[in-house]
């Protein structure tokens, strides 16, 4: 298995690790989503000022309005965060070269 294949597998396993708690592996309930963010994205969560952050994040991610987060909606969060980090990384590299 290549490093990229491992990344994709890990994204799925991490999602299922939390989504499977209530028996329905296909989606994260709000409780499961909150736990995932607290455990897996502590730095991201700590940077948020809004005490109701998880509620508003779920609203933004929940494209099909079923009050749950499916794997596609979860991946959109991961993509948003990854793109923000990648941009920061490139900017800091450019600054380093000046």
Residues contributing to the site for a second copy (CB under 8 A):
2-12, 14-16, 25-26, 36, 39-43, 71-72, 75-76, 78-79, 81-83, 85-86, 89-90, 93
Question: Least distance in Å: CB of 86 to a second copy?
Answer: 5
The residue (of 56 and 82) whose beta carbon lies closer to a second copy is 82
The residue (of 31 and 78) whose beta carbon lies closer to a second copy is 78
The residue (of 67 and 79) whose beta carbon lies closer to a second copy is 79
Buried-exposed string 10-46: b where 16+ CB fall within 10 A, e elsewhere: eeeeebebbbeeeeeeebbbeebbbbbbeeeeeeeee
Check the CA dihedral 81-84-86-88 and report its sign.
negative
Cβ contact 38:45 at 8 Å: yes
Question: Least distance in Å: CB of 70 to a second copy?
Answer: 9
């Amino acid at each position: 298995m290549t490093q990229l294949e491992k990344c994709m597998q890990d994204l799925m396993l991490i999602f299922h690790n939390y989504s499977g708690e209530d028996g329905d592996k296909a989606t994260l309930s709000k409780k499961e989503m909150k736990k995932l963010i607290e455990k897996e994205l502590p730095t991201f969560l700590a940077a948020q000022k809004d005490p109701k952050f998880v509620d508003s994040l779920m609203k933004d991610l929940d494209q099909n309005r079923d009050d749950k987060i499916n794997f596609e909606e979860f991946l959109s969060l991961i993509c948003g965060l990854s793109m923000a980090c990648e941009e920061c990384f490139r900017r800091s590299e450019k600054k380093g070269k000046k």
